[in-house]
Amino acid sequence: MQTLEQLRSGQLEGVTHLALSEQLTHFPEEILTLANSLEVLDLTNNQLSHLPDSFSQLTKLRIIFISNNCFTALPTILGCCSNLEMIGFKSNQIATVEASALPKKLRWLILTDNKITALPEALGDCIHLQKLALAGNALTALPLSMKRLVNLQLIRLSANALTAFPDQLLDLPKLAWIAFSGNHFNRYQQVINSLPNVASNDYQLEKVLGQGASGVISLAQWRSNPHQLDNDIAVKVFKGQVTSDGYPQDELNACLKTGSHPNLVASLAQVSEPDYLALIMALIPAHYHNLGLPPTLTTCTRDTFPTEFTLSIEAIMKIIVQMVDVISHMQIQGVAHGDIYAHNVLVDDNANILVGDFGAASIYDDLPPEQQQKIAAIEWRAVGYFIEDLLSICHTQDKNTALYQQLYTQAQGYISA
């Protein structure tokens, strides 16, 4: 993190990335002195509510993050930024999004956790858009023009007020990751409570094992074990009222609806107390590790992998067989995972996998059959991309094999379905 003092003293001359968090209430005009170099600007965690017209002088700016500020409208000056591709205004107070605020090269738009009730029809003109995060707003419908977003791959619509599933999304040729739980058309789904309830004081949280958009996972030990569950447990404590993927209760419901499968992280119990929701899970053996790494600002929607990490074609085949079985199981239960990625998969040295992270999962078996079929096809497209990503790290000597070609053909079949 840099400082305003450094900027004013000239120490940051020529930087391409700038991040300032100093409870700023006004846009620092000194930022404009970086117009010849600045590509990424992060003003998250300030008190800003306005961008000046002079902001358009930042002609090299590609990425801007101004989350956790005080904007009530998406600044229209953004639409004048000729090279701006990525906009993140999560957790402001935005109620208005004008057509003029959308730059022509927009590729990634994050408006999670705001107060937006409607989006402009001009959104459909953003033909380069790949990733759109809208969870936690007050949208009652989406622009019909979104059917033109032929490059859209990921959309988050959970925790809104949509009265009907937006059909205009269902035939988008590249859409693979979609989350839509917690809307008016599916807000009050009844799910059989298949897990026992325990109290939060029945266990002791220990070290943090990991965290994501929806919660923090910690190693835990039982103080008392009223249902005689596994001794080795991890506990996911959900964050707040709404996350970037939706409501915690919807994630828990999706876990309950999905049930058990050998390649899913096992859920053992739940905690449902005022202001405290948690899921108790079987502790994953230490020899499992993440299969991949999350997308970067450059890859946008596609996973990355550690440098020099490769897999044999036989290991890739084994992983794919297990993933296909998991998705088939979930579709029988009427649940879309919504986040099929290598970074959400744990794997051991024998290519056995465990799939977790239901933050973007949505229950869809109460929708009309045609919608259900198209949602299932979207989920299979994600599996196709998952296979493509794994094939990208295949051992070089295996890339000319018949099995490699078979898996490549399988991936293309899922993607084009």
Q: Which residues are annotated as a binding site?
A: 236
CA pair distance 410, 136, nearest whole angstrom: 36
**Tokens 């949280």 correspond to what residue?**
205
CA pair distance 56, 52, nearest whole angstrom: 8
Residues belonging to the chain: 417
Q: Are strands 289-290 and 203-211 parallel, antiparallel or unpaired?
A: unpaired
Q: What is the DSSP string of 14-28?
A: T-SEEE--S--SS--
Asked if residues 88 and 67 have their Cβ atoms less than 8 Å apart, the reply is yes
207 exposure class (CB count in 10 Å sphere: 0-12, 13-18, 19+): exposed
Angle between helices 313-333 and 402-416 (to 10 degrees): 30
Q: Are strands 267-273 and 353-355 parallel, antiparallel or unpaired?
A: unpaired
CB atoms within 10 A of CB 160: 25
CA angle at 36 for the pair 32 and 38, rounded to the nearest 5°? 70
CA angle at 43 for the pair 39 and 45, rounded to the nearest 5°? 155
Cα-Cα end-to-end distance for the chain:
45
Q: Which of 279, 307, 281 is nearest to 292 (CA)?
A: 307
Instruction: Extract the annotated binding site for ATP.
Output: 236
CA pair distance 357, 319, nearest whole angstrom: 17
CA-CA-CA-CA torsion sign (11, 13, 16, 20):
positive
Alpha helices in 275-355 (DSSP H): 313-333
- Strands (DSSP E) contained in 241-344 are 267-273, 276-282, 289-290, 335-336
Asked if residues 302 and 389 have their Cβ atoms less than 8 Å apart, the reply is yes
CA pair distance 71, 94, nearest whole angstrom: 6
**Tokens 């890339």 correspond to what residue?**
399
Q: Which of 22, 16, 24 is nearest to 1 (CA)?
A: 22
